[in-house]
Amino acid sequence: MSKVTAGLDRVTRVPGVRGALIANSADGLVVAEQLMDGVDGRAVAALAGSLIARLARTAHSAGLRPPVFVHLRGDEGSILAAPGADGLVLLAVVGREANVGLARLEMLAAAGRLA
Amino acid sequence: MRALEPWVEAPLQSFLAESSARLTLLMTSSGQVVAQHGFGRSLDIMTAAALGAGIVASTEELARLMGGSRFEALMHQGSRQSCMLSAFSTPRGRWIALVVFGPETSVGIVRLFFDAMVQQLATAAPREPVRPTPLLAEDFEHELDASLKALLGR
Amino acid sequence: MSLVNFTAREITCKIVYYGPGRSGKTTNLQYIYGRVPESRRGRMVSLATQTDRTLFFDFLPLELGSISGFSTRFQLYTVPGQSYYNATRKLVLQGADGVVFVADSQARRFDDNLESLQNLQDNLLAQGVDVRQLPAVFQYNKQDLPSDLILTQSEMDDALNFRSVQSFEADALHGHGVFETLRGLSELVLKRLAAGTAVA
């Protein structure tokens, strides 16, 4: 679990990141989280987890490999997702001013260690 | 979808649309059906409600025995479909929800929108329950007698 | 408490068969289940032990038909009779609209009947139910047994029926008295509903 926590730490240290969590995409439940006040981790896990599971199914149906990174961009910020092994997915909630490029690098590195 | 009282309909409809649940049953803690979606026969609904209320009541007793607070929700995970049982407070007393869902959705989604429905129900409930004056005609005994005779073939 | 749907004009009532172990509560439901056309009854659920003793409850939903323009349904429950299942009995008793107390007429079961009746009253009181207001009838079952083994209806009334409610002799195994008991209690439950005291 320390590896997981370390991964969340590195992601949340990126400027503009308001929280990071690991969810199980199959059941949409939070496995671990580090969130600022006001970020509803349960909702992010449920909705983003479901989206990632659907994306993986869609990609599979189209004969493609599952996505390695997903960026959902909204008016006020974004949700970033990096699927890892065993159905786990690393998620980050970032503000509009966030350094998405750095967050992406940290997330891909952390997601590679998820198991 | 059918609901005993109209104010239950909008929150339940919204939950069904958001959660993609296959079956949903709302009942009182004694197992009386308040609203339902997806069930066919009314008699089967009553059976599901009786069993659901029984499970919740017995787990609440179990929690009390163990000195803990009530369980928030009870999940039965199946290979093709899963089931969530959860008791919650409403302005009309304690109700129980039985939700059956498949792999097209997830526990997280169902619980997320279930909590939203509980909040919507609390807001939507009229302050004073409507109590229309009943009800049965004075000579209902004759109809009761005829119904029971027809039912039991005597 | 009965649920009344004024929009769909439906009434649903919960009736509980109470009494000591092996007095014939499940047999009442089994007889009713066997006599009622399939279209008017649901599945009979029996949560029983391997030796067919009721563990949690038996449940039988019935579609009674139209009464005063209301589509009327009864939910029949039994409780487990054995004394150590009291937690379960309390749960099943919650929200009951009426109670059939099924007593065993055998003289040797006299104390068991009394103990179960006392237990019913205790459980109702604990739930804040006024025992005098709750529709109830007695059924004295096993009246088909040899007369030297059983108490008569009037002896049973003297022993148990302090409130002088309706009582019925029965042989639930063969159906004698089962219909009359259900009819008697149904009438009381619906009368109470007609008076507007049990509307959800």
Buried b (16+ CB within 10 A) or exposed e, B46-57: bbbbbbbbbbbb
Signed CA dihedral, B144, B148, B153, C5: sign only: positive
C42–B44 CB contact, under 8 Å: yes
- Which residue of B72, B76, B104, B106 is the best one to mutate when testing the A interface, meaning the one whose CB has the most A CBs within 10 A? B106
Q: Whose CA is closest to A112, among A80, A77, A82, A71?
A: A82
The model's confidence at residue C199, banded by pLDDT at 50, 70 and 90, is: very low
User: Quick check: C180 pLDDT over 70?
Assistant: yes
Question: Residue C78 is part of which domain span?
Answer: 3-195
Distance to chain B for A51, nearest Cα, Å:
10
C15 is a domain residue: yes
Q: Are C198 and C192 in contact (CB under 8 A)?
A: yes
Decide if pLDDT at C158 tops 80: yes
Chain B environment of C72 (Cβ under 8 Å): 147
Question: What is the token pair recorded at C159?
Answer: 């022993």
Distance CA C47, CA A11 (A): 52
User: What distance in Å separates the CA atoms of residue C20 and residue C108, rounded to the nearest whole number?
Assistant: 12
Residues 6+ apart with CB under 8 A from B9: B1, B3, B35
C198 neighbors C97 (Cβ within 8 angstroms):
yes
pLDDT tens-digit readout, C21-55: 999 999 999 999 999 999 899 888 888 776 777 77
CATH number of the domain enclosing A51: 3.30.450.30
Residue of A nearest to B107 (CA): A27
CB atoms within 10 A of CB A87: 16
Structure tokens at A31: 């496995």
Predicted confidence (pLDDT) at residue B129 exceeds the cutoff of 80: no
Could you count the other beta carbons within 10 Å of the beta carbon of residue B9? 15
Look up the domain containing A60 and give its range.
3-111
Which distant-in-sequence residues (6+ apart) come within 8 Å of B135 by Cβ?
C4, C68, C70, C193, C194, C196, C199
- Closest-CA residue to C169 (of C140, C136, C138, C137): C140
Asked whether the beta carbons of residue C42 and residue B6 sit closer than 8 angstroms, the reply is: no
CA distance B148 to chain A (A): 48
**Is the Cβ pair B109, A46 closer than 8 Å?**
yes
pLDDT at residue B130 is higher than 70: no
pLDDT at B127: 75
Query: Is the CB of residue C90 less than 8 Å from the CB of residue C79?
Result: no
SS3 breakdown of chain C: % helix, strand, coil, rounded to 5?
Answer: 35, 30, 35
* Number of domains present in the structure of chain C: 1
Q: What is the pLDDT of residues B65-123, one digit of tens each?
A: 788 777 888 999 898 999 999 999 999 889 999 999 998 899 999 999 999 999 999 99
Indicate the helix (H) or strand (E) that contains A94. Answer: strand A88-95
Instruction: Give C156: exposed, middle or buried? Use CB within 10 Å, 0-12, 13-18, 19+.
Output: buried
pLDDT (0 to 100) of residue A41: 94
pLDDT bracket for residue C88 (50, 70, 90): confident
Confidence of residue C163 (pLDDT cuts 50, 70, 90): very high
Q: With respect to residue C200, please indicate whether it lies within any of the assigned structural domains.
A: no
Pairing of strands A88-95, B23-28: unpaired
- Assess B111–A contact: CB distance below 8 Å, yes or no: yes
> At C138, is the secondary structure helix, strand, or coil?
strand
Residue B137 has pLDDT above 70, yes or no: no
Number of domains in chain A: 1
With b for 16 or more beta-carbon neighbours within 10 A and e for fewer, the A32-50 pattern comes to bbbbeeeeebbbbbbbbbb
Domains and CATH numbers, chain B: 2-127+139-152 (3.30.450.30)
Q: Which of A27, A30, A51, A57 to mutate to test the interface with B (most CBs of B within 10 A)?
A: A27
pLDDT for the residue A97 = 92
Q: What is the pLDDT of residue B68?
A: 75
Average pLDDT, rounded, for chain B = 86
Q: How far apart are CA A42 and CA A24, in angstroms?
A: 11
pLDDT per residue as tens digits for the range A29-73: 999 999 999 999 999 999 999 999 889 999 999 999 999 999 999
CATH label of the domain that carries residue C91: 3.40.50.300
Q: How far apart are CA C73 and CA C2, in angstroms?
A: 10
Find residue C65's DSSP bridge partners.
C72
**Sequence-distant (≥ 6) Cβ neighbours of residue B44 within 8 angstroms:** C42, C43
pLDDT at B135 over 90: no
Residue window 88-107, chain B: list those with CB within 8 Å of chain A. Answer: 105-107
Residue B60 has pLDDT above 90, yes or no: no
CB of B140 within 8 Å of a chain C CB? The answer is: yes
Residue C45 has a pLDDT of: 86
* Segment among B91-95, C5-9, C112-116, C156-160 with least mean pLDDT: C5-9
Task: Note whether B75 contacts A: Cβ–Cβ < 8 A.
Answer: no
Chain A hits for B105, Cβ within 8 Å: 50
In a mutational test of the C interface, the residue from B147, B149, B154 whose CB has the highest number of chain C CBs within 10 Å is B147
Start-to-end Cα distance in chain C: 7
**Can you tell me the mean pLDDT for C68-77?**
88
Q: Where are the beta strands (DSSP E) in chain B?
A: 2-3, 23-28, 33-37, 74-76, 82-90, 93-101
Predicted confidence at residue C197, as pLDDT, reads 46
